[in-house]
């Protein structure tokens, strides 16, 4: 499994369990005795909304700070020692030059499209997605990835590009150093 997908699975499962417990408590509370419901101080509950506001802001702030280091925009500059690969998407064909690279060395993909929007996604041979980036006509985007394992990698188009979108596939061969 892709490590990001794994992190999402764990995080989403945990917050869902917490949310479901809260929802069950609220659902169950409506079956309580009516006299209990008369004792509820709705003003106090409304006051609690401010605490909830603070909790929500803090939780989202923490998520923001924890994930910002992982945004993909930072490290795509050209640098010494990179392998360079030019990627061009066209209905319904990838042109990847060169399509054979070596493992262990960072590879800088410069991705564009010559007709419509495409997305350049690379999966390993076990169908695990490694990375993806949009391919935009008239604009070039860069993404740097280091392939650790030699082998065959699958290129899949991930932006809907027309009738044969799902057959817009290719491969990259990664050779041992």
Partner 1 sequence: MSTVAGYVEPERVTDSEERTLARSLTIRYIVASTVIFFVSGLLGALMRQSQSDIYRLDDNFYYAVMTAHGLGAFVGWAAFAVMGLSWWVLSEVGFPLGRLGAALARLAYWLMIVGVGGVVVTTLFFGFAGSWVFLYPLPFESAGQWGDGVTGAFSASVLLVGLSIVVWCVAILVVVAGPGLRSPSTSRVNRVLTAMGFGILWPKRFPSERPVPYSVIPLTVIAIDMIIATLPLALLLIVMIIQSFAPGISVDPLLAKNVLWWFGHPVVYLLLFPAVAIYYLLVPRIAKRPLVAGNIIAVGWTIAVIANVTVWAHHMYLDYPNGIQAAINTTMEPITFALTIVSALSLYSLLFTIYRSRWVWTAGSTALFLGLVSWLLSGLSGVINATIAFDNFVHNTLWIVGHFHHMALMNIGIVIFGAIYAFTPSLLGRPLYSDRLGLWHVWMTFLAGTAVSVVWLIQGLDGAPRRFAVLPEQYDATNAALIPLVAVLGLTQLLFVWNMYKTLRGHTSAATTRDILAGVPRPRLTSPSLQGFAMVATLLAVTGLALAGWAIGRAGADDVPDAYVPAVAELPSDATPTEVGGQLFITEGCGACHAFSPAGTTGNVGPSLDTIAPDAERVAEVVTTGLNAMPAFGNRLSEQEIAAIAAYVSEPAEP
Residues 25-54 that bind partner 1 (CB under 8 A): 26-32, 34, 36-38, 40, 42, 45-50, 52-53
User: Which CB sits closer to partner 1, 127 or 177?
Assistant: 127
Q: Which of 86, 121, 145, 150 binds partner 1 (CB under 8 A)?
A: 121
Structure tokens at 52: 């909830």
User: Which CB sits closer to partner 1, 45 or 79?
Assistant: 45
CB of 150 to partner 1, least distance (A): 15
User: Which CB sits closer to partner 1, 15 or 78?
Assistant: 15
Please, what is the Cα angle at 91 between 172 and 98, to 5 degrees? 25
> b/e map of 26-37 (b: 16 or more CB within 10 Å)?
eeeeeeeeeeee
Query: Which residues, 48 to 107, sit near partner 1 by CB under 8 A?
Result: 48-50, 52-53, 56-57, 60-61, 63-64, 67-73, 90-93, 95, 97
CB of 101 to partner 1, least distance (A): 16
Is 93:115 a contact under the CB 8 Å cutoff?
Answer: no
Q: How many residues bind partner 1 (CB under 8 A)?
A: 93
Query: Which residues, 147 to 176, sit near partner 1 by CB under 8 A?
Result: 152, 154-156, 158-171
Is 157:119 a contact under the CB 8 Å cutoff?
Answer: yes
Contacts (Cβ under 8 Å, ≥6 apart) of 154: 122, 123, 124, 125, 127, 169, 170, 171
Please, what is the Cα angle at 172 between 136 and 123, to 5 degrees? 75
CA distance 97 to 152: 15
132 binds partner 1 (CB under 8 A): yes
Q: Which of 82, 83, 106, 136 binds partner 1 (CB under 8 A)?
A: 136
User: Which CB sits closer to partner 1, 93 or 103?
Assistant: 93
């Amino acid at each position: 499994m892709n490590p990001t997908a794994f992190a999402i699975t764990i995080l989403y499962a945990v917050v869902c369990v917490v949310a479901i417990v809260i929802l069950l408590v609220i659902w169950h509370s409506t079956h309580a005795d009516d006299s209990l419901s008369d004792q509820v101080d709705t003003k106090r509950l409304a006051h609690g909304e401010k605490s909830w506001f603070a909790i929500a802001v803090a939780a989202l702030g923490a998520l923001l700070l924890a994930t910002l280091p992982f945004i993909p925009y930072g490290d795509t500059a050209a640098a010494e020692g990179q392998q360079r690969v030019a990627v061009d998407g066209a209905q319904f064909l990838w042109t990847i030059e060169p399509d054979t690279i070596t493992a262990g060395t960072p590879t800088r993909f410069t991705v564009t499209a010559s007709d419509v929007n495409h997305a350049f996604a690379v999966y390993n041979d076990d169908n695990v997605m490694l990375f993806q980036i949009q391919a935009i006509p008239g604009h070039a985007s860069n993404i740097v990835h280091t392939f650790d394992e030699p082998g065959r990698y699958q290129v899949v188009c991930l932006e809907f590009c027309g009738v044969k979108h799902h057959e817009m596939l290719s491969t990259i061969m990664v050779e041992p150093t």
